[in-house]
Amino acid sequence: MRRNEDARLLTGRALFVDDVRLDGLLHVAFLRSQHAHARLRSVDASAARARPGVVAAYTAADLGDYWRPGPLLVPPPPIAGLVFNACTQVPLAKDKLRHVGEPIAMVVAESRYLAEDALDDIVVEADSLPAVVDLEAALAPQAPRVHEHLSSNLAAHAVQRKGDYARAKARAHAVIERRFRYDRGASAAIENRAVAAHWDPRAEELTVWDTTQAPIPIRNGLAQLLGLLESQVRVVAPFVGGGFGPKIMMFYPEEVLVPWAAVRLGRPVKWTEDRQENFFATTQERGQIHDAELAVAQDGKILGVKDVFLHDTGAYDPYGLTVPINSQCTLLGPYDIPSYESEFTAVFTNKTIVTPVRGAGRQHGVFVIERLLDFAAKQLGIDRTEIRRRNLLRPDQFPFNNEILFQDSAPLTYDSGDYEPALDAALQAIDYQRFVREEQPRLRAAGHHVGIGVVCYVEGTGIGPYEGARVTIEPSGRVRLATGVGTQGQGHFTVFAQIVAEVLGVDVTDVHVITGDTREFHWGTGTFASRGAVVAGSACHAAAVAVRAKVLELASRELEAAPADLVLAGGRVHLRGNPGGGITLGSLALKANPLRGAVRPGAEPGLEATAYFGPDRGSTANGVHAMVVEVDPETAQVEIQRYVVVHDCGRVINPMIVEGQIHGGVAHGIGNAFFEQLAYDEEGQLLNASFMDYLLPTATDVPNVAITHRETPSPLNPMGVKGVGEAGAIPTGALFAQAVEDALGDSGVEICEIPLSPNRLFELMSAARSRGVRSR
Amino acid sequence: MDTTSRPSRGCRTARGGADALHPLQAAFREAHGLQCGFCTPGVLMTLVPFLREHPDPDERAIREALSGNLCRCTGYQNIVAAVRLACGAPAPAPSSPGA
């Protein structure tokens, strides 16, 4: 099936924010902090204002009442004993600089060149302070404080418990203890952020084009900030060139300042981020350090897990605890873990803000449990895949309540799943038994360092609160579908159209989808947490079902037939068994909106309906990834030879799009595992803020992925779907570690960290060799 | 400007003057070789001259040709499939059916 949106994208006719061209458009550049941590004494922009071509230059002092910290976007769940210190980002720095790239001043000029030139005219006086960079050092009593009104750099502390871990440990046959470090990188969407704004004084309406994943919350927030009615603000998220998390409803400084300047100056204003700004000023994910232990019985059954971890939240924490709570919850995986004790401390550092990036902390949790199981298997002499099999939840255990709270504040309950067949399918697809029995010994004997990895994971997807959709049949017979969520490449123009087309019996290409424009639909939340198809898709389905009922009611009067005898197909309604007869949907739409004649009392005009869908809790997808690698012991290069994915996201609406999501996620995960690391020095300076130094996987780095779909429907929505957007990226780090370690055989290398790189892997191999020499 | 019909012009972009897609564009649509579409014009502009020089490239050559273009959405797999489709290779094998 072809995607409805592709013709526009392929021929350069799709609108991205930077394509917005308006008469009199002004351009913006931001002066950003070069300090990770500093006392800001003064900012003088007067010389910049005097430069020809500069229309305005603003510092924090110029913002007046508009200067206020951003909103807390996700309040933390009600965990007993939770400590949470909310410190949200500010539009322009005042008094203190807290990370490199934090905006200090904004210049508006006739061109971007002039605006950037004028940045040099701004005089900043700042006294450098020692930077908070290392996670553990950040909590030392004498550590400098990122936020001085707090007594330490502690951003949050939370403990969640299930069962009695101390008892489990006391009766364990073995307790596996390790320290794990898992670092993640930039989202690195190929399109950087951009905002354009236009105030129309005649209509008294503000239009904002924004590369956001959540245009409706942005509209609501901007209206409040600017003192306008929500209906006076239209936010359009047109085509967006990749989201991956950081384009969520952040209320970034640039996002609140560009519209403000457009209103204030009475001229349209645009800012487009450059790649270097993206590295410093767009939110990231980064590191956690886990001290974890696994208590197991002799047969490999898990008795309990204890995990204590530190989470780097960066300079501010507007996204609450979503990332560390995802780590905490996703660690439990597809396994029956009777006792769990998980404690985390989130720490402020002088680095870019941490918010979800594709996977959103789930990777870290999967890495910890999967590695613990690998080490337990080795210690107990059980096959890696067998220890997993022995601990998988059984189909009769669903819905399965994990007895802790998830990021959406609902209890972490898995709705449905069938895990063992997924494992079997993966083992079959990668030909596990043959590899470990025949292929690996043969290749090893020939001097090849080949290894295999198999890891399992679950992903909480499709959380609330809700989304909505409006379906309208037009007199042309074409169907218009409007929904609030924005699109960043997930195929909404096609998937949502498919859902509606199936219900109304029309061609997918006859459903015109409008997403991400608050003038077209203004209730909803946004595209994140793998929730588009689940939540917005279910709303589209509900709206289409409601329109179908209207169609049937009207058609039964027109055709003098009972609704049960009518069929919707080919854009017509006809009597069963008479596909050529009946009446077109377009004609019915005309009759539903008559120009003359009587309308029945209580009738609504048109064939249109609006519906909403809000699940109580998310649906849980799952999967198994497996791969075969060869490691070159001289260069520590890793070649991925086979990669298979078995994936269950409930009912699959569009296999082509689901597979595309998985391909991209796996590539992102491989980047995370072996290529991408944000390298901060001890002064909080990011050392690799360019694509020359921060390596995204290229076409020669990413393998072909063979995908097997399994479908365990979710009982939580009428279509039985679960989310898939993040899945590919979640287990890759754990898989990489297991496969590479296996390839290195009995070298003594234990991989307890991600990302690796050829350099880092070489260091680990060398360290293991010298340990081996010493112990001899 | 149209990528198909104006070889004499010095500048070629993805934007077509006519309604018809270039065969490579059509193959991208068939094989789901794009998601957000932001990198796509650049990828097409790399591939059109590459394919003129190499009308029947193997997968490794396609991947080498693409290695200067970054894509964050597709994992490149379906871009490669689209190129092969444009070169007349059969459509990519579907993944295994649902179990």
Q: A187 contacts in B (CB within 8 Å)?
A: 72
Give CA–CA dist A282/A352, Å, rounded: 7
Tell whether A112 and A21 lie within a shared domain.
yes
pLDDT tens digits, one per residue of A282-306:
999 999 999 999 999 999 999 999 9
Q: Of A598, A613, A628, which marks where a domain is finished?
A: A613
Q: Residue A2: what pLDDT?
A: 94
Q: Residue B3: what pLDDT?
A: 44
Contact across the interface for A700 and B29, Cβ inside 8 Å = no
Q: Residue A226: what pLDDT?
A: 97
Q: Does residue A153 lie in a domain region?
A: no
Give CA–CA dist A134/A684, Å, rounded: 9
Contact across the interface for A698 and B28, Cβ inside 8 Å = no
Query: Tokens standing for A445?
Result: 């004997």
Strands (E), A319-425: 340-348, 400-405, 411-414
Q: Residue A677's closest CA among A759, A744, A764?
A: A759
Mutate which: A11, A495, A659, vs B, most B CBs within 10 A:
A11
Query: Residue A460 in contact with residue A326, Cβ under 8 Å?
Result: yes
Q: Residue B90: what pLDDT?
A: 67
Mutate which: B77, B78, B80, B84, vs A, most A CBs within 10 A:
B77
Query: Residue A464 in contact with residue A492, Cβ under 8 Å?
Result: no
The pLDDT of B51-73, averaged and rounded, is 97
Opening angle at CA A177, ends A390 and A360, nearest 5:
75
The pLDDT of A634-648, averaged and rounded, is 97
Query: Residue A268 in contact with residue A262, Cβ under 8 Å?
Result: yes
Asked if A359 has any chain B CB less than 8 Å from its own CB, the reply is no
Residues of B with CB under 8 A from a CB of A: 13-16, 21, 25, 28-30, 32, 34-41, 44, 62-64, 66-80, 94-99
Q: Does residue A564 lie in a domain region?
A: yes
Query: Residue A142 in contact with residue A87, Cβ under 8 Å?
Result: no
Enter the DSSP assignment of A658.
Answer: H
Q: B80 contacts in A (CB within 8 Å)?
A: 699, 704
Give CA–CA dist A259/A253, Å, rounded: 11
Q: A702 contacts in B (CB within 8 Å)?
A: 75-77
Mutate which: B1, B22, B36, B63, vs A, most A CBs within 10 A:
B36
Instruction: Please state the pTM of the whole predicted model.
Output: 0.96
Query: Residue A755 in contact with residue A733, Cβ under 8 Å?
Result: yes
Can you tell me whether residue A728 is helix, strand or coil?
A: helix
Q: Is the peptide bond before A399 cis (omega within 30 degrees of 0)?
A: yes
Contact across the interface for A667 and B75, Cβ inside 8 Å = yes
Q: Is the pLDDT of residue B44 over 50?
A: yes
Question: Please, which residues have CB within 8 angstroms of residue B81's CB and are 6 or more apart in sequence?
Answer: B31, B33, B91, B92
Contact across the interface for B37 and A667, Cβ inside 8 Å = no
Give A 488-507 residues with CB within 8 A of chain B.
Answer: 488-491
How many residue pairs bridge chain A and chain B with CB atoms within 8 Å of each other? 153
Q: B95 contacts in A (CB within 8 Å)?
A: 655, 659, 706-709
Q: Of A585, A613, A641, which marks where a domain is finished?
A: A613
The pLDDT of A172-192, averaged and rounded, is 97
Contact across the interface for B36 and A710, Cβ inside 8 Å = no
Angle between helices B77-86 and B23-30 (to 10 degrees): 130
Enter the DSSP assignment of A672.
Answer: I
Contact across the interface for A707 and B40, Cβ inside 8 Å = no
Q: Residue A1: what pLDDT?
A: 87
Q: Is the pLDDT of residue A164 over 50?
A: yes
Asked if A702 has any chain B CB less than 8 Å from its own CB, the reply is yes
Domain of residue A237: give its range.
Answer: 6-129+193-272
User: Which of A30-34, A140-144, B85-89 is predicted with the least confidence, judged by mean pLDDT?
Assistant: B85-89
pLDDT tens digits, one per residue of A443-500:
999 999 999 999 999 999 988 899 999 999 999 999 999 999 989 999 999 999 999 9
Element (H, E) at B44: helix B40-53
Residues of chain A with pLDDT > 90, as a percent, come to 93
One-letter identity of residue A249: M
Opening angle at CA A668, ends A463 and A331, nearest 5:
50
Mutate which: A1, A9, A515, vs B, most B CBs within 10 A:
A9
Give A 178-207 residues with CB within 8 A of chain B.
Answer: 187-191
Query: Tokens standing for A129?
Result: 């302070």
Q: Does residue A186 lie in a domain region?
A: no
Tell whether A250 and A374 lie within a shared domain.
no
Q: Of A241, A272, A303, which marks where a domain is finished?
A: A272
Q: Is the pLDDT of residue A193 over 50?
A: yes
C-alpha dihedral, A35 to A40 to A41 to A42, nearest 10°: 90
Mind telling me how many Å the CA of B87 is from chain A's nearest CA?
18
Q: Is the pLDDT of residue B7 over 50?
A: no
Element (H, E) at A545: helix A537-559
Contact across the interface for A10 and B76, Cβ inside 8 Å = no
Query: Tokens standing for A581?
Result: 């007869």
Question: Please, which residues have CB within 8 angstroms of residue A151's CB and are 6 or more apart in sequence?
Answer: none
Contact across the interface for B35 and A5, Cβ inside 8 Å = no
Q: Residue A250's closest CA among A275, A200, A215, A226?
A: A215
Number of domains in chain A: 3
Q: Does residue A509 lie in a domain region?
A: yes
The pLDDT of A651-680, averaged and rounded, is 96
Contact across the interface for A188 and B38, Cβ inside 8 Å = no
Enter the DSSP assignment of A593.
Answer: S
Contact across the interface for B35 and A489, Cβ inside 8 Å = yes
CATH label of the domain that carries residue A20: 3.90.1170.50
Tell whether A659 and A670 lie within a shared domain.
yes
Tell whether A628 and A753 lie within a shared domain.
yes
The pLDDT of A155-166, averaged and rounded, is 98
Residue A638 has phi, psi (to 5 degrees) of: -115, 125
pLDDT tens digits, one per residue of A523-565:
999 888 888 889 999 999 999 999 999 999 999 999 999 999 9
Opening angle at CA A186, ends A269 and A655, nearest 5:
95
Question: Please, which residues have CB within 8 angstroms of residue B10's CB and are 6 or more apart in sequence?
Answer: none
Query: Residue B40 in contact with residue B31, Cβ under 8 Å?
Result: no
Contact across the interface for A664 and B70, Cβ inside 8 Å = no
Tell whether A589 and A633 lie within a shared domain.
no
Opening angle at CA A249, ends A244 and A253, nearest 5:
105
Mean pLDDT for chain A? Answer: 96
Q: Residue B1: what pLDDT?
A: 37
Q: A425 contacts in B (CB within 8 Å)?
A: 99
Asked if A762 has any chain B CB less than 8 Å from its own CB, the reply is no
Give CA–CA dist A469/A521, Å, rounded: 7
**Distances in whole angstroms, Cα of residue A573 to Cα of each of A477, A494, A512:** 12, 23, 20
Q: Is the pLDDT of residue A232 over 50?
A: yes
Q: A696 contacts in B (CB within 8 Å)?
A: 70, 72
If you compute the radius of gyration of chain B from its CA atoms, what whole number of angstroms results? 14
The pLDDT of B43-67, averaged and rounded, is 96
Tell whether A683 and A649 lie within a shared domain.
yes
Question: Please, which residues have CB within 8 angstroms of residue A396's CB and are 6 or more apart in sequence?
Answer: none
The pLDDT of A561-587, averaged and rounded, is 95
One-letter identity of residue A174: A
Of all residues in chain B, what percent are helix, strand and coil, respectively (each to 5)? 40, 0, 60
Enter the DSSP assignment of A754.
Answer: E
Query: Tokens standing for A83?
Result: 């400590």
Can you tell me whether residue A626 is helix, strand or coil?
A: strand
Contact across the interface for A660 and B98, Cβ inside 8 Å = no
Q: Residue A104: what pLDDT?
A: 98
Beta bridge pairs of residue A639 = A630
Count of C-beta atoms within a 10 Å radius of residue A200: 13
- Closest Cβ opposite residue A664 in set B14, B64, B73: B73
Q: Residue A179's closest CA among A298, A306, A326?
A: A306
Contact across the interface for B32 and A657, Cβ inside 8 Å = yes
Contact across the interface for B36 and A191, Cβ inside 8 Å = yes
User: Could you tell me whether strands A583-584 and A607-613 are parallel, antiparallel, or unpaired per DSSP bridges?
Assistant: unpaired
One-letter identity of residue A117: D
CATH label of the domain that carries residue A620: 3.30.365.10
More confident residue, B9 or A388: A388
Mind telling me how many Å the CA of A292 is from chain B's nearest CA?
32
Give CA–CA dist A288/A132, Å, rounded: 15
Asked if A15 has any chain B CB less than 8 Å from its own CB, the reply is no
Q: Does residue A721 lie in a domain region?
A: yes
The pLDDT of B49-59, averaged and rounded, is 95
Give A 228-247 residues with CB within 8 A of chain B.
Answer: 239-242, 244
Question: Please, which residues have CB within 8 angstroms of residue A443's CB and are 6 or more apart in sequence?
Answer: A450, A630
What ipTM score was computed for the predicted complex, to two decimals?
A: 0.96
Nearest chain A residue (CA) to B2: A11
pLDDT tens digits, one per residue of A702-756:
999 999 999 999 999 999 999 998 999 999 999 999 999 999 998 999 999 999 9
Query: Residue A123 in contact with residue A56, Cβ under 8 Å?
Result: no
Element (H, E) at A292: strand A288-296
Tell whether A638 and A601 lie within a shared domain.
no
First to last CA, chain B: 46
Query: Tokens standing for A494?
Result: 């096609």
Tell whether A605 and A668 lie within a shared domain.
no
Tell whether A622 and A570 lie within a shared domain.
no
Domain spanning B36-86: CATH 3.30.70.260:
no
Length of chain A: 776
Mind telling me how many Å the CA of B35 is from chain A's nearest CA?
4
Contact across the interface for B97 and A709, Cβ inside 8 Å = yes
Tell whether A485 and A578 lie within a shared domain.
yes
Q: Residue A498's closest CA among A212, A649, A721, A711?
A: A721
**Distances in whole angstroms, Cα of residue A420 to Cα of each of A70, A622, A646, B99:** 45, 11, 11, 12
Long-range Cβ pairs for the range A375-380 (8 Å, 24+):
A375/A176, A375/A178, A375/A294, A375/A750, A376/A174, A376/A176, A376/A294, A376/A296, A376/A300, A377/A300, A379/A174, A379/A176, A380/A173, A380/A174, A380/A296, A380/A298, A380/A300
Q: B35 contacts in A (CB within 8 Å)?
A: 242, 489-491, 660, 664
pLDDT tens digits, one per residue of A765-776:
999 999 886 665
Q: Residue A604: what pLDDT?
A: 86
Contact across the interface for A664 and B63, Cβ inside 8 Å = no
Strands (E), A535-669: 566-569, 572-575, 583-584, 607-613, 619-631, 638-648
Query: Tokens standing for A638?
Result: 């890793």
Beta bridge pairs of residue A361 = none
Give CA–CA dist B20/A135, Å, rounded: 56
Tell whether A601 and A748 lie within a shared domain.
no
Query: Residue A268 in contact with residue A303, Cβ under 8 Å?
Result: no
